[in-house]
Amino acid sequence: MENLAKQSYIQADADNVELSVFRCGHEHCRPGYTWGPGVRDHYLIHLVVAGHGSYQVGGQSYTLAPGDLFLAKPGQRISYTADAKEPWEYCWVGFNGACASRLVQQAPFTDSQPCHHCADPRPMREALDQIYNARGTEPQDEARMTGCLYLFLALLMKEAQETMPRAVATGSQYVLAAVKYIQFNYSHDISVDDIAKAVGVSRSHLYRVFMTAVGQSPIDYLTAYRVDEACALLKNTNLSIAEIAVSVGFFDQFYFSRVFKKVKGMPPSRYLASLEKR
């Protein structure tokens, strides 16, 4: 087939712990091209700009067309395949960091809806192109790529707000306020009652809007956020596991290890050992 092309960039190293671009690019796939099944260790968002294909995640298959976005989360088993007759062309960005989970939560994706259709995909395409065009090996290049990534995620947040029903959008405002409270206070001994009080709603109402907008309870979100922060500290600092536990709001190291294992499938010591092997 003519005009098959792939342009991609992989960041060799990243200094920005909060948010960093891991990879980005553009590809016109050959018919039937498949990636996976496999997992990624970062968030990955594709925008279909032409053609068709399918995305498999969570036991479901989604048929996608131009204007569709699809999200893969770290550790999810996924695969995606270009159509045999009209293979797709897509752009992508892969990223991670301590605030990546919080930002993705505000995008128009949920566990039950990992795909989203844009009525006007042109701004999304332009933002992804800007990320790729900012690539480079110098510190200023990384900063520029991260800035362009923030602009892309801002477009996704706007897209999410515009497509929400009014009642859900109102609930989402409480969720965003709660997420910000968690972001600035997760290292302290806070509870769901504290979060609800800070937001100005009852504990039960906070639970309902969280389940609707995020797909998980406030306590599960707080726990996952703390564990994600712990992972970033394990990767980027020389703090002991006990020091990291306190830094992310766990004041019992053994309880921290149990929670970490429940979320990540392994204790923090094993997670740290896996990082050292890479």
pLDDT digits (tens, 9 = 90+) for 185-201: 999 999 999 999 998 88
**What pLDDT was estimated at residue 12?**
56
CA-derived radius of gyration, the chain = 19
Is residue 147 scored above 80 in pLDDT? yes
Q: Where are the domains of the chain?
A: 5-163, 166-277
* Helix and strand element counts for the chain (H, E): 10, 10
- Strand (E) positions, 51-203? 53-57, 60-64, 68-72, 78-82, 89-96, 115-117
Q: The tokens of 128 are what?
A: 């992804």
- In the chain, what are the helix, strand and coil shares in percent, each to the nearest 5? 45, 20, 30
Side-chain half-sphere CA neighbours of 160 within 13 A: 26
Q: The tokens of 245 are what?
A: 């536990």
**What pLDDT was estimated at residue 210?**
87
The topology under which CATH files domain 166-277 is Arc Repressor Mutant, subunit A (1.10.10)
Cβ neighbours for 143, distance < 8 A, ≥ 6 positions apart = 16
Q: What is the pLDDT of residues 55-65, one digit of tens each?
A: 999 889 999 99
Q: Which CATH architecture has domain 5-163?
A: Sandwich (2.60)
Give the Cα separation of 103 and 100 in Å (integer): 5
Q: What is the pLDDT of residues 3-34, one digit of tens each?
A: 456 676 666 555 556 788 999 999 999 999 99
Q: What is the pLDDT of residues 121-145, one digit of tens each?
A: 999 999 999 999 998 888 888 899 9
**What pLDDT was estimated at residue 163?**
66
Q: What is the largest CA-CA distance in the chain?
A: 61
pTM over 0.75: no
Residue 115 backbone phi and psi in degrees, to 5: -120, 155
**What pLDDT was estimated at residue 4?**
56
Q: What is the pLDDT of residues 88-122, one digit of tens each?
A: 999 999 999 878 887 888 888 888 889 999 988 99
**What pLDDT was estimated at residue 1?**
37
